[in-house]
Structure 1
Amino acid sequence: MVFSESIQIVFATFAGIAAATLIFGVWAYLGRRERQTARALLREAESTVVFLFDDDTLVNATPEARKLLRRSDSRLSDWDALITLLRPRFPHIRSQLSNLAKNGKDRIAATDQGAGFIEAELWEGLARITLSEGFMTDADKTVDPITLEAIEDELDNLRGLGEAAPQLIWKQDAEGVVTWANRAYLDVIEKIEPTLDDETPPWPPATLFHDIGRAEGDAPLVERLVVKGPYDDKESWFDVTSLRRGHGSIHFGVDANAAVKAEVAQKNFVQTLAKTFAQLSIGLAVFDRSRRLVMFNPSLLDLTQLPVEFLSSRPTLSAILDRMREIQRLPEPRNYATWREELSAFESQAANGTYCENWSLLGGETLRVTGRPHPDGAIAFLFEDISAEISLTRRFRSQVELGQHALDTIDEAVAVFAPSGQMTLSNRPYDDLWYGAGGGTGLTDKRISQEVAVWQEQCAPTGTWARITDFVSAYGEREPAQARAQLQDGRMLNCRMTPLPGGSALIGFSITKTQGAAESEDRYSEPFVAARS
C-alpha cells in the first residue's frame, strides 16, 4: 500500500510539471506568434507608410510612417496624432475608423480629389493603417532637406505663437470635434471641467461653445458667446471670430467680460438717467450720430405735443422737426428754403454746442431750445418752457419803462446810485442839465466818481460834491440832507440827498429862482448821519 501511494505521488508530480510546461509553451508560442504577426504585418510593406496600433498605442510603424509622426503634438496620444495628420485630406477619418472593429476592413478615399486612400485592417486585435502610394504627392517627395527644415522651423514658430497667445484659439473639423487647441483654450476647459492630479486630460478636448455659428465663404463670423460652469451660474463672455478653413473651421476667442460689464453698467446708467429725466420739467431728446432719436423723457411729449408712438419709433431729427412744423410747434419761417437752411444750422450748431434760441410759437408760448454735443457724435436738445419767465420779464420791463417815463415828467434832475456807486437810474431833466438837451441816456453804466467829475467841471468849486460822494458810499442808516452849488453861468443849484431802500441813494438837482450872491453853503446844508466803511 505504501508503495502504491508513492507511485501515485510521483505520477501527480510529473503530471503537474507537464501541464506547467504545456502552458508556458503555449504562452511563449502565442507571444512569439504575436511578435511574428507584428513583424509579418510590417515586413509586407517596409518601404510604404504603415502604422500598427493596439487600441490608441502605436505598437510599430515603418520608417516612413515614423517620419510623419515625429513632429506631432506631444499632448496627443499616438492615435490622435495620426488622426490629426490625416484629417486635412480625410475630414471624417475618426468616425470612419471607429467602425473598423465592426467591419474588420475598410478603404477610405481622400475628399480632395487626390489619388490617395487609406486601407484599414483589423487582425488579431491589432489595427494596421496603410497609406497608399498616392497619399504622398510628387511635391511632397521632392522637397529638399533645407526647405523641409525651414518648413518645420516655421511650424515650430507658429505652434509656439499659438500656444503662447492669450486669446483662445482652436480648430474644429466638419463634425464639430475640436482637433487642435492652444493652452489658453485648454486652461478654460480645465477650470470648467477640472481633472484629478493623476489624470491625463482627455483628447479631443470638450467643446466650449456648442451654439457657435459656422462661417460661410471667406467672410469671418463674429459672435459674442457665453460659457457657464457646471456647478455655478458664473458666466464668462467671449467675442468669437470664426473662419472657414477647408472642411473645418478655426476660431479665435477674446475675453469680453470687461466689455459686457461695461455695457451692463452703461445700460443701468442710462436707465437711472431715464428715471431722473422723467422727473424733469425740461424736455430732453438725445440723437445718435445718425441723428435718430435714442432717448426722450415725458416732458418732451408735453412741450412738442408729438405722440409717443411716433417718438418711440426712433425717428430722425429732420422727421421730428417736420412733424413739429406741421402742428405749429416751431417758429413759422418766412419761406421753406429759409426753413431748410435754419434746419442745417440747427443741427451743426448743436453739434458744436453753440445752439441756444428762444422759439416764439403761434400760441403765445416761448420755448428755449439748447443743443449740446454728446460723445461718439451724438447730440442732445433741451426744450424748456420759458413762457412765464418771458411774461414776467416783459411785465418788469414795462414797469421799468413806465417808471422811467414818470421820472422824465418831473422838473427835478434825478439820479439814483447803488451802494457800489453805480448809477442805476436817471431822468431826462438830469441828462439835459449835465449833458445838454438830447444828451445822455436814462439808463447808463456810469459811476459816482465819473458823475462828480462832470458836476465839478460845470460848477464853481465847492465841498458839496465830496459830501454827496460820502452820502452815496455810506453804509447804515442815513438821514436826508441838502446842499447848494453854483453853476458856471451863475445859477444856483439846490442838491437833495435822499436814502433809498437797499442802500441806494437818490441825488436830485433843482435850480433855485433866487439869483445873486451866493449865500453860505452851511446855511442851506443839513448834516446827514452815515456809517462810513
Structure 2
Amino acid sequence: MPALLSGSTLAAFAGTALAQQQAPAAVRLFSSSEVAISSLVIGALGATLLSVLWLVRQKGNMEAESQEMRNALSDAQQRISKYEALIAEKNRRIIIWDGSIARPEVLGQLPADTGAPQNDREFLAFGRWLRPKSAAELERAVESLRGDACTFDMVAETIRDEILEVQGRVSGGKAFVRFTALNNLRAELAELKIERERLRGSITLFQSLLDALEQPVWRRDSDGKLAWVNHAYSEAVEAASPDQAVGEAREFLGTITRESIRANATPASPFHDRVSTVVHGNRTIYEIVDVVATGGSAGMALDVSEAESVREELKRTLRSHAETLDNLGTPVAIFDRDRRLQFYNQAFVTLWGLDLGFLDSRPDNSELLDRLRSSNKLPEPLNWRSWKESALSIYQALDAKDELWHLPNGETLRVAATAHPQGGATWVFENLTEQVNLETRYNTLLQVQGETIDHLSEGVAVFGPDGSIQLSNPAFRALWGITAEQAKPGTHIRAIEEACSPSYDKPDGWRRFGQMLTSGDDARPSLQGTFELYSGLILDYAVTPLPNAQTMFTFVDMTASARAERALMEKNEALRKADEIKNDFVQHVSYELRSPLTNIIGFTDLLKTPGVGALNERQAEYVEHISTSSSLLLTIVNDILDLATVDAGIMELNYTEVGLDDLLDDVAMQIADRLHENAVTLEITAPRGLGSIIADQQRLKQILLKLLTNATNFAPEGSTITLTCRRDDQDVYFSVSDDGPGIPTEMLSSVFNRFSSSPQGGKRSGAGLGLSIVESFVTLHHGDVRIDSRPGGGTTVTCRIPTGSAMRTIAAAE
C-alpha cells in the first residue's frame, strides 16, 4: 500500500509538470477544469500501472519464500521424527519444564524391570519408586536446576536395586532431566561409584565414632608405624592433637607389648591381653585388642582398672553373701545359666540329705530333681514329666514362681524360684509344715470357737475398737431380746444400746459401755457387774479387753443361781453359826472334860501309892481300870481339841531345830510300855548322823507316837514294828511298818476320815482320830502322808516332812 501511494503521487507530480509546460497551448484549446480532470485521470492510470507491476514482483518473492519455508518445515519434521524415535527408546525418559509452567512434559519410557512407573504422574513421584536417599538427592537437584539453572549428573537407585543415570540440563529457557537405564558395564561402574561413596561415608562415620570414644584407638600401616589415632589416644600420650601424636610417633604401649603384638597377632587370631601402662602418671590396666590385616593393623585399649576393682569387690561381696546364705536356716540353691548347681548352703544339705560329692559335682537342675524323686523326697504328681517341665520353666520365665510342695514325708515346702537376668535361677525352700499345721489348727480352733460360742448359754458379744460389733451368739440376742439383724456385724454400739434399752434403761448400762469403747483411751479397764432387767432376769456381765484391741462382753443369766446363791448364803450362814457353835461346844466340853479327867487320873494314881493305904485285889483292879479309861478318855479329848484347833485355823506350830536321833530315842522310850503290853518289838532303822530338822518337836513326836500306837494295836503278838527314818536334800521321811492284817482296798480312801476305825484285827478299839491327827499335823508342816497296804500283807505309813531352808522360809512367813 505505501508503494501504491507513492506511485499515485509520482503520477500526479508528472501530470502537474506536463500541464505547466503545455499551459499556453491549452489555454487555447481546453479550459482549466478539463485540464485538471485529465491530469487526475492520467495520474490514476499511472499509479495503477505501477501498483500492478509492484504486486507482480512481490508475488514472485513470496512464492520463493514459501517454497523455502516448505523445504525447511520438511527438514524440521524429519529431524523431529528422528528425535522422537530416539526418545521413544525404552532406555531413557526425559522430563521438560518450560519456564514457569509447573506441569512438566514427560517423554520416553524406561524398562519395566527398573521399577519406574509408566504413568507420568506416578513417575514424577520419585519417592515411590526410588530409594529414599536417591529420591531426596534428586528432589534437591531438580529444585536447583529449575531455580538456579544448576546442572547435575548423578546416579539413582530404584527400589528394585536398579541403577539409573540422571542428568539435568538447561536449554532455551527450558529445564531438561534425563533418566537413562544403564547397560551392564555402565551399571556396574555406577554401582561401584555408589559403593565407593557408601564406603567413604562409612569410613568417615566410623572414624568420627572412634574419634569420639574415650578409649584410645589407633591404626598402623604395614611397617608398624602409626597412621591414625583418635583424640583419646593423643590425650593418653599427652599430645596436643592426633596429628601431633602420629607425626611424632608417640607410642601408647611399651616396646615389649608392641613386639608381643607383632609376634603373636595374626589375621585369624587377633591379639587380646591385659597390659599395665602409665597414663598421666598413674599405673592403669588396659584390655588391649589388636587386629591385623593385609594393609596394617588396628587396635583399641579399654580401661579396665575400675572394672578390676569392681570385679574384686564383687568377688568379696559374693563370698560374703555365700557365707551369709550358708548361715541361714532357709535352704538356698543357686544354678548358673547352664542350669548347673553353682551354690548351696548347709540348710539345703540338711533338708534333702544329699551326698556332698554329688552336690559338688555341679549336677544339672533336672538331674537333681530326678535324684530327689528317686529318693522319694518330691511330690508324686500324675505326670512327672509335665511337672518337672513346669518347675524348670523358671529359666525362661519373666516373673518369679512361688508354689507349695507337699512332700511324701508330710512336710510342706514353699518353693520360690527367681530367674537371673544374666541366666540361671535361685531356688529358696521354706519349710511351712509348722505354719500350715498352726494355720490348720487355728482355723479349726476358730471353727470350734465359733461353734462353742454359738452353743454357749452365756451371752457373748465382741466389739471392735471403733465401737462396731464383730460377732454375737444366739444367747446374747435371746437375753437382750434383739434380732440377728439388729446385732449383725458392723452395727455400732449406739444402735445396740437403742435396741437393748427397752429391757434395761439406766445411765450406767450400755451407755457406759459405748463411752468406754469410743473414748480412745489407751488403758481399757476390765469391768464386772450385774444387770437386773425389767423382765426379772438377773445378768452378770464382764467386760474383758482382748489383745487385738477388741473388747468382749459376757452376759450370764444368774437368775436361778442368784436365787440359789441367796438360799446357799442363808444355809452357809446357818452352817457357819452351827460350826461356831460346834467349835465352841468342842472347846468348851474339851476343856471342861480335861479338868475332871485330870483330877480322876491324879486321884487314881494317888490311890495306887502305898502311902494312902493298901487296896484289896478287887479294888486295885478297879483302880487300874479307872486309870486306863481315864488316860484313854484324856487322849481322845486332847485329839478332839487338837483337831478343833486345826479346823479353826488357830493352831500355830513352834518351829525349832529338832535333832532326829534324839527324837527317835524319845519316841522309843515313850512307846516302850505299849510295846511291852502288846508283846511287840520295835526296830528303828536309820543311818547315823541324820542331823536335825526344822519342825514343831511336840507335833512331830505326836505324829510318830500315833503311827506307832496304831501299828502296835494291829501288829500280831511277837511281831516286829519297823520305824524307818531317812532324808534327802529337801525332805525327811518317817515310815512305820507292821505285819498286821492290812487294810482292805475299799477302806484305803477313808482311813484318814475322822471317827473312822476298823476294830477287825486290832487289840483296842479307838475313836478313829489317830490317822486324822497325823494327816493334819503333817499337812501343817507342808508335807504329805502315804499308806501302802494290802490285805494280809501288813501296812506301811510314810510321812514326808520338808526340812532345811524351805522350812525356815515357811516359818518366817507364818
Using structure 1 for the length normalisation, give the TM-score: 0.49
Give the number of the structure whose alpha-carbon radius of gyration is greater.
Answer: 2
Q: Which has the higher contact order (CA 8 A, sep 6+)?
A: 1
Higher helix share: 2
